[in-house]
Structure 1
Amino acid sequence: MPSSGTSRGSPLSSWDGGGERGRRQPPVPYREGPLDYELPVFCDCKVKAARWISWSPHNPGRRYFTCYNARICFQGIDSFTSPFFVKSGGCGFWETIYEATVEAKPYMKQLLLDLRNAVWSAREQVNGLEAALWDRTVAQHNLQSTPKKESNEVQGLRAAVEKMEAANCVLVDRINKQQTSVLLESVIANWNECKIVVLFEMTVKNQVI
């Protein structure tokens, strides 16, 4: 499950670990502070709980509540090669929000995972370009003079970084729109099922009469 140290996403992520810290951050903010959602849910401390979004392979997009003062730390890899986490702090409150999203549509789960991986890949490329840009900037500063050719290369790297960041934003937007679409489909399907049940009951009643 994902984690954070602030209410709108912090540098700490439940997918962070070692050299993959930046790459494994979630593609969208994974923690919503107590003021960011309604109706309120209170933990055992009688304080409005924080709402989280999971980006684990098994539950992408799953929302859940924990104590606002809780922290979830990455601990390692278990026997099934999956990350596992340990909670600390707070009252230990934990409540899962069951929504008809990933569970109802397995292909949506895979789509969310593919989009998440695409964001991670794009972020990794951005980090590489930023590192290359930083190295080039340091070299320029040390030399105190930059040939025209190197200056053009720096501008090209900067443009590439901006392009990758823009692509990252597009992927995040696609994830948000897809989640909204799945939720609407579920609501419509439930409504249609209710109408069918009502019509069936009316038909049976008329036949009896």
Structure 2
Amino acid sequence: MATSNGSSRSLGTQESRWRRHGDSHGDSSSPIPYRKGPLEYTPAVLCKCGAKAASFISWSDLNPGLRYLKCARARDGGCDFYRWVDPPNNSFMKQLLLDLRDAMKYWKRATGVAEQSLEDARMETARLLESATRENQRASAGRRNKGESKTAA
């Protein structure tokens, strides 16, 4: 493979950095929002219960990005229906999807941390501004009182 910045060596470095941050340890939640609901597909495929099977996307380490059908009521006593929609990815596509999944999760987490830090800074700024305003008002009142006592004397 080429030795440019896009080599597998540099990708491996990025991948290990994202994975060190805990982005792929068994978490198969979707790194991106679904574009349509689990029952918004055609033609309908019925599960063993006779209901329309739900469509999902796997983000596991073994099958990243692959769509599958599953009984929509599987968690509530439905059946064990399960069928892959897509064929398995080749090793390149599989690794690429894993890297993209991990990068998305890393940056979502980093964005959340940055947003929380920004909110904390805004709260602290508001607190300091309020404190400075009170102090300024006290100082102004003190100067006015001194001016009044000089005029009275």
Q: Assess same fold via TM > 0.5.
A: yes
User: Matched residue of 1:32: which SS?
Assistant: coil
Superposed CA RMSD in Å reads 2.8
51, 67, 70: which is aligned to 1:47? 51
Once the 2 structures are TM-superposed, how far is the Cα of residue 141 of structure 1 from its aligned partner? 3.7
State whether structure 2 residue 126 is matched by structure 1 residue 122. Answer: no
**Structure 1 residues 60 and 121, CA gap change in structure 2 (3 angstroms):** same
71, 76, 81: which is aligned to 1:89? 76
Q: Which runs of 5+ in 1 are unaligned?
A: 1-18, 71-87, 148-209
Indicate conservation of the 8 Å contact 2:68/2:86, yes or no: no
**Structure 1 residues 144 and 68, CA gap change in structure 2 (3 angstroms):** farther
Once the 2 structures are TM-superposed, how far is the Cα of residue 144 of structure 1 from its aligned partner? 4.6
Q: TM (normalized to structure 2)?
A: 0.58
Aligned to 1:84: none
Q: Which has the higher strand share?
A: 1
**How many residues were matched structurally?**
106
Distance 2:123 2:47 in 1: 49
State whether structure 2 residue 68 is matched by structure 1 residue 64. Answer: yes
1:126-162 CA-partner distances (Å, limit 9, x unpaired): 0111110121222234335499xxxxxxxxxxxxxxx
Aligned to 1:28: 32
User: Matched residue of 2:48: which SS?
Assistant: coil
Larger Rg over CA atoms:
2
The percent identity for this pair of structures is: 35
1:189-208 CA-partner distances (Å, limit 9, x unpaired): xxxxxxxxxxxxxxxxxxxx
Aligned to 1:140: 125
Indicate conservation of the 8 Å contact 1:64/1:94, yes or no: no
User: Matched residue of 1:47: which SS?
Assistant: coil
